[in-house]
Structure 1
Amino acid sequence: MIYQRSLFSHKDFKTSQFQTLLADILTVFWGDWLELRVRITQIAASGLISPLIYILAFGLGLGSSIRPGAGISGSYGNYLEFILPGMVALSSMTISFGGTTFSICGDRLFTKNFEELLLVPVHPLALHIGKMLAGVVRGLMTSGSVILVALLFTGNWRFLHPLFLLLLLLNCAVFAGLGVIVGLTVRSLEAVGLYNNFIIIPMSFLGATFFDPGTLPGILKVVVYLLPLTYASIGLRAAAYLPLSQFPWYSVPILLVIAIALSLWGANLFSRQQD
């Protein structure tokens, strides 16, 4: 009887801890949401320009000279259909990372509101996930605009398939988590530009957004499959066009594991912040 009472008490304690962590996460997220909700239109449009340029230049321009099946595989009517899922992945990556990084940098380096956040009695993991969720919302706002463009161009409602949306959510979580880490570690906005130039921009072109990585030679294929955006791009493309029997199911756990690893890293950084 004493053992059973102790076991129930332990379970209640764990439940209470989880509820407290969840409440802390929502509290941190709500602080950012109050700022985001007044700029929904601006955020949704801010990351739409680059994908639209790529769609016009590569999809409608260059794409008109590329025959389906000539260098691309799958059930695509034209090259534009092939790159549209990649544009969704690209826009969600760019805004999730950039919006999160600049938001934290602004609080740390300019407004100094970050010091108040560190004084809040919440778990470091809650701080990371709360900030990450704000980045996820930014990414979903922008990629939602790209999905609307894709629906207008293709009429393919599988861009709203639950599996497509799950991969989109995971991709936003990965790059929002990376944005939190970069925002916590850089000492100037110039340093943010370096991360953008040496990580985000190269990944935009190498992350299987414009090509099928299966057609690459060995060493380049290894490099491309080291990039998380690759798994988002090929997964979104498969969810939009291919049957479930051909879906790369490995992309889901890979993105999930990366997001969890970045969350633990970010929580550790929050616990050691001295700003």
Structure 2
Amino acid sequence: MTSPRPLLLSKSFKISQIQILLADSLTIFWGEWLDLRVRIAQLATSGLISPLVYILAFGFGLGGSIKPGVGISGDYKNYLEFILPGMVALSSMTVSFVGTTFSICGDRLFTKSFEELLLVPVHPLALHIGKMLAGVMRGLLTSLGVILIGLLFTGNWRFLHPLFLLLLVLSCAVFSGLGVIVGLSVRSLEAVGLYNNFIIIPMSFLGGTFFDPNTLPAALKVVVYLLPLTYASLGLRAAAYLPLSQFPWYSIPILLVMAIALSLWGAYIFAHQQD
């Protein structure tokens, strides 16, 4: 008969490992935060340019010629209401990915301080999570600005709904996790531009930010539903405007699984990084 004492010791050891992992992750994040906190205003405003341009061009410009509800699931007074959640998703993607990627590239390629991070005696997963949390913070700072714009023009307080905020955090986690991986993999800033041009920019327009994916032909719908931004846009839009009975609950586990998979991938790259 197995003694309960070794089982208890095993469980306590696993709990202790998790606590150490979380503590190390927060330590890495705190080091990033010390740098971010002196640039909060810059971070919060720099990523607003692109969403504001889209809101002005598509929401107020093109949106005036689009009748509410035509080809769009849900009840919206105008096209601006439809695209605002997509703009929140777009800003979370862009800032989380670009900010994280350039932060790591700067440490690796220019300041050469990244080697010191690799010598820190913490688990590679803690390194990834700490960097990812910093990216999440970048994305949230900018996204909150877009949310304020949404509140100003629509008066819809469901932009602060817990489901809306949960999906926003998951979206930031996915794209900051991707930013960590790209930042660890590229050898030059020009390579970052390639990732941005071939992944981020196409996803900005195909990720359900400007249209309802359900209106697409089946072949295109398959492509669109492979993109993480699609689930962020659909979930944020539903959380802001639709009843809970119509909420796409599948978007939460899909984004969560993507974030976990990217974390494991990032931890593997950290473990084998040679910089």
TM-score by length of 1: 0.99
What is the deviation of 1:71? 2.1
SS of 2:144 mapped into structure 1? helix
Corresponding residue of 1:8: 8
Aligned residue runs from structure 1 range 47-196, under 5 A: 47-196=47-196
* CA deviation string 1:59-102 (max 9, x = no partner): 00110111112222211110000000000000000000000000
SS of 2:3 mapped into structure 1? helix
Of 181-190 and 70-79, the range deviating more from structure 2? 70-79
Distance 1:261 1:4 in 2: 34
* CA deviation string 1:15-48 (max 9, x = no partner): 1111111110011001100000000000000110
Corresponding residue of 1:18: 18
Corresponding residue of 2:249: 249
Q: Which amino acid aligns with 2:193?
A: G
Corresponding residue of 1:265: 265
2:27 maps to 1:27: yes
Distance 1:20 1:41 in 2: 33
What is the deviation of 1:2? 7.6
Q: Which amino acid aligns with 2:240?
A: A
* CA deviation string 1:133-189 (max 9, x = no partner): 000000000000000000000000000000000000000000000000000000000
Distance 1:134 1:219 in 2: 37
Q: Which amino acid aligns with 2:134?
A: A
Q: Which amino acid aligns with 1:28?
A: I
What is the deviation of 1:5? 1.6
Distance 1:15 1:228 in 2: 31
What is the deviation of 1:226? 0.6
SS of 1:159 mapped into structure 2? helix
Q: Following superposition, which runs of at least 4 residues in structure 1 exceed 3 angstroms of deviation?
A: none
SS of 2:226 mapped into structure 1? coil
Runs of 5+ unmatched residues, structure 1: none
Distance 2:56 2:16 in 1: 52
Distance 1:231 1:59 in 2: 21
- Cα-Cα RMSD: 0.9
Distance 2:69 2:116 in 1: 56
Corresponding residue of 2:202: 202
Distance 1:69 1:162 in 2: 26
Runs of 5+ unmatched residues, structure 2: none
What is the deviation of 1:10? 1.0
Aligned length: 275
TM-score by length of 2: 0.99
Q: Which amino acid aligns with 2:185?
A: T
Distance 1:8 1:206 in 2: 50
Q: Which amino acid aligns with 2:218?
A: G
Distance 2:74 2:18 in 1: 44
Distance 2:30 2:2 in 1: 42
Distance 2:10 2:223 in 1: 46
Distance 2:32 2:104 in 1: 10
